[in-house]
Amino acid sequence: MSAQTLSPQAETMDQAAHDRAKKRINLRENLQAGEFLLPVILIFVVITIIPFLESFVFSLTDYSGYDFSSAKFVGLENYVTMFKDPTIMAGLGFTLMYAVLTTLIVTIIALPLAVVLNKKFWGHNFARSVFFFLSIPSMALLGLVWQFIVSPLPSGAVNQFLSHFGVSAVPWLSNPDLARGCVIFIAVWATIGWHATLYIAYLQAIPSDLYEQASVDGANGWQQFIHITLPQMTPAIGVSVFMLLTSGLKVYDLPFTLIGGGPGHATYTVTQSIIVTGIGSNRYGLGSALGVVFFLCCLVLVLVQQAVTRAIEKRMA
């Protein structure tokens, strides 16, 4: 049974009966969809929503993170403290900059990379695996290795390399602007492979006859990319941008392991505030309050991004 077979009958019915029938079908279809959605909702509510509500309760107390029964209700005090502490807000600027720039750069590089890696050439399996694997070792380890590579000392790998061309040591990690640049560069290095892999998967869904037709019409590779690949990939770009943006806003471990949020506060992030000022200082209540406020900010950003994506998809379709 489907909606199509019912509609001719519905036309002959009066408006009320028509509405009722429509509602019934609607309900049934919703229930059917609900069946499939139930497991994810169950897991989501139990593992994420309930704990998050609990952490909201924590944010109204002076909970230290040990024994909750001894915590006191303090109202909005944590939220007030948060805005009084100058270092907590220090991370906001870099976090936004990081999220926006990594999203932009990774998207611009990963999509063409995926198109190239999707071609059949000698060693394509190996190349794909290498790009994907760049970010797999733990951040603690990658942070250390990169520290040696972009060290501001003359002995750093990049500086040693540059010295062959007579360039004197560049203060990579000890200059605030260069340090921000290094963090973003390494983040791009670490994530392009992941996103290229995602794009490769989505590329498989583009019907090959589209390309065949274009080839017959004499379109070159670049024209095919612009007129076929790009429009067909809008959903994929939407997914990838969303992932980049949300993980970018929550960034912590890369700038922390690489330069500890420094120099000074140059690469300090919001999540680092939550950890250092709140959770790591036996002030779980404060950390939770920070988490709640940050959550609300991210939510606004993400909903805007989603709306924009949907609008673009509609225009492309």
> Which of the residues 66 through 105 are near other proteins (CB under 8 A)?
66-68, 70, 77, 81, 84-87
C-alpha to C-alpha distance for 64 and 278, rounded to whole angstroms: 9
Site for other proteins in 229-268 (CB under 8 A): 232, 235-236, 238-239, 242-243, 246, 249-250, 259-265, 268
Nearer to other proteins, 14 or 62 (CB): 62
For other proteins, which stretch binds (CB under 8 A), given 8-16, 91-99, 223-231, 283-291?
Answer: 283-291
Q: Where are the alpha helices (DSSP H) in 13-156?
A: 15-43, 50-58, 77-84, 86-117, 124-133, 139-149
# of chain residues touching other proteins (CB under 8 A): 140
State which residue, 93 or 176, has the beta carbon closest to other proteins. Answer: 176
Measured CA to CA, the distance from residue 83 to residue 110 in angstroms comes to: 38
- Which of the residues 175 through 194 are near other proteins (CB under 8 A)? 175-176, 179, 189, 194
The number of CA neighbours under 13 Å toward the Cβ of 150 is 19
Min dist. Cβ of residue 135 to other proteins (A): 9
Smallest distance, other proteins to C-beta of residue 221, A: 10
Q: Does 294 bind other proteins (CB under 8 A)?
A: yes
CB of 14 to other proteins, least distance (A): 24
The three-state (H, E, C) secondary structure of 264-315, written as one string: CCCCCCHHHHHHHHHHHHCCHHHHHHHHHHHHHHHHHHHHHHHHHHHHHHHH
Identify the residue among 119, 164, 314, 315 touching other proteins (CB under 8 A).
Answer: 119
The full DSSP string for 217-272 is TT--HHHHIIIIIHHHTHHHHHHHHHHHHHHHHT--HHHHHHHTT-STTTT--HHH
Q: Which of these ranges, 13-21, 92-100, 103-111, 293-301, lies near other proteins under the rule CB under 8 A?
A: 293-301
Cα–Cα distance for residue pair 273/136, rounded to 1 Å: 26
Piece of the chain touching other proteins by CB under 8 A; list 8-16, 103-111, 223-231, 281-289: 281-289
Q: Which is nearer to other proteins, 15 or 208 (CB)?
A: 208
Of the candidate spans 8-16, 60-68, 101-109, 222-230, the one that interacts with other proteins by CB under 8 A turns out to be 60-68
Minimum distance between the CB of residue 276 and other proteins, rounded to whole angstroms?
5
Query: Could you tell me if 267 and 94 are in contact, meaning their C-beta atoms sit under 8 angstroms apart?
Result: yes
The answer to whether 100 and 304 have CB atoms below 8 angstroms apart is no
Q: Among residue numbers 27 through 46, which ones bind other proteins (CB under 8 A)?
A: 28-44, 46
Q: Judged by CB under 8 A, which stretch of 7-15, 16-24, 94-102, 114-122 contacts other proteins?
A: 114-122
- Coil, strand, or helix at residue 59? coil
H or E stretch including 210?
A: helix 208-216
Nearest to 206 by CA among 182, 225, 181, 178: 225
Q: Is 123 left (phi over 0), alpha (psi -120 to 50) or beta?
A: left
Tell the smallest beta-carbon distance from residue 103 to other proteins (Å): 13
Minimum gap (Å) between residue 18 Cβ and other proteins = 18
Query: Three-state DSSP class for 73?
Result: strand
Q: Which is nearer to other proteins, 58 or 101 (CB)?
A: 58
Cβ atoms of 83 and 168 closer than 8 Å? no
CB-wise, 14 or 67, nearer to other proteins? 67
d(CA 203, CA 212): 15
Residues 121-150 close enough to bind other proteins by CB under 8 A = 121-134, 136-138, 140-142, 144-149
